[in-house]
Structure 1
Amino acid sequence: MIPFSILDLSPITQGSTVSQALANSRRLAQEAEAQGYKRFWLAEHHGMKGIASAATSIVISHVAAGTNTIRVGSGGIMLPNHSPLVIAEQFGTLAALYPGRIDLGLGRAPGTDMRTAAALRRNMEASANNFPNDVVELQALLAPVGESQGLIAIPGADSNVPIWLLGSSHFSAHLAGMLGLPFAFASHFAPDMLMSALEIYRERFEPSEYLDQPHAMVGIMGVAADTDKEADYLFTSMQQSFVALRRNARGQFPPPVDSMDGLWHESEKAFVDQAMTYAVVGGPEAVEKKLKTFIRNTGADELIVSMPIFDMDARLKSVRLFADAQKKLAAADGRDAA
């Protein structure tokens, strides 16, 4: 059975603090490690009242310091916001602190509103258009130093931190295939191009020194609980959050509600339902069934789950229930193979 991983944004829940959000991320990673998840990734977002992972490399270090074996990385670093040299130094440092455990997932979206993006990038158009060149430059900075190489990242050089390309459209699928890199698709909030992007990536893949065959990770929103009803209740936090995003009224991550009636318009409900096309929400049986269908349909090599749950105990339980589902699916695969 394919490995499962966790994507975290260090959510700042209503009434909580950044410090608590970061402590929760470490606790979540510890539970994921105990349950056998492969990776714990954190995402770069800026200027958002409900997200504490803006300084992503620092949060990665915080999480890695509190765990022992799980891989920790970025899902992702928005490379156009930074110079490749800075990222090479940051992740070279992380690789030195936590050998063999660091991943570097790269995206080209701003991860914020346009005003904040302009403050980060200064020259937005040049930064976005230069993404493929920046990826290649970053690869060189993390590789062994060449004979005529003038620019050297210290730390960074010869750290060989694994690079992933992230995307929600065809662009990164083409680029990941061309460069022979692993590819992660953001189907947890942008489902429309999932199947076509996976097809493009696999068709265009060129073996490289990093990878000899395509390796695709797919994302889902996931909420598991003892019953379907409880999971649906917990999921209303994410639904409210997406409505706020649609209204450009971002705030701290809200508590769940008994019903979304009156909290969204029909067009907003349609927007959220579409974005959550591949969400896996339910009790143990429903989760297992939905996971089996999604994995079969995508042919994914890995699955990464974002668990937008307000209550930390419920979030930890969801991590355990998804791990249980993964084990049951693996056992069923074993029986089928036999």
Structure 2
Amino acid sequence: MDKWMLKAWEWLWPEMRKILSALLLVAIVSFAVFLLVHYGGVTRASVAFLLPVVIAAIRWGPVAAMAATITGVVPMVFLLYDPIYDLKVSDPQQVLDLGLYVFVAVVVSRLAAQLSEARVRAEANVLRQAVVDSVSHELRTPLASILGSATVLDSAEPVANDRRLAGLVHGIREEAERLDREIQMLLDASRVSVDRIEPKKDLADPADIINSAIVRRRRHISGHSLELEIAEDMPFVFVDSAMIEQALVQIVDNAGKYSPSSSHIRVDARASNNHVTITVTDQGAGFTAEEIRGARERFFRGHRHTLVTGSGLGLWIANAFIAANNGVLTIESAGPGRGSTVIMTLPSAKETTDRLESANARNDD
């Protein structure tokens, strides 16, 4: 029993301290208003009682702000309403004033609390980004050395002639590459988690983006049959090419990860109706209707996919990067075990230019 009471007190005391601090502010403001009324002849100072409400909301949260609001009614009636130094409220106008005070105090306290929460979130984002940048730098520096050394060893003749050594070196290289992908995933997730993603857009050739993404993941999907088809005379797109490339890398990664070895993966790109569509089709695990609805959510993993290592961030990151570039990510599947098709739709440079010109024309009008 004593232990339970101690835990309850440990939980209650911080909240009580916040409320007591808010009440102390109300007392200080009440004393100041008393001096103004008694010695200065001031009769209109009810707005002063909003001050402890705002401070309490910013410093100690909505509960303390509500305590300041309710407590502030007593000195306001006692000091400002006729007859002064009396707690009677008989005039309908005074009742209306009190109701207005409580309403304004509640609204102001909510706004102040939201402002405080936004500041805390912003500080947390800055701290998180600093930690991620620091950790990724500290990991990637030695990782680059490991990858470089493993690559050199992999091509060395003594290693190539020794099957056991070759297997060990190949394993080191594969695990280092996997760790590199996980670090990149962490960086991308951190970037998406920030409230606003600001793409650095420029004209880009979809073929260059696709080829670069395929080159980055060629080893990862080397056990699959890859078919690449890019239509001729593709229009340029006005996007952050690094973002779109990384989104495509995530999609191709998933196609290789959840498809059986030697299965077929097809990547094609074509233009239609002022849009460019990049489609990745695989013969893998596929999606249920429920999985399609949740696939773009953070940390989502279907129950059928738990045997495959993954973080559940890939399609979430891809969707966020594509959406930041005014694109759309669509997922289609005939059902479990029947493969999937992931479609990235991006506005062509012409469509983007026409939209900007139309917006500028409206602004001029």
TM-score (norm 2): 0.20
Question: Whose relative contact order is higher, 1 or 2, with alpha carbons under 8 Å and at least 6 apart?
Answer: 1
Q: Which has the higher helix share?
A: 2
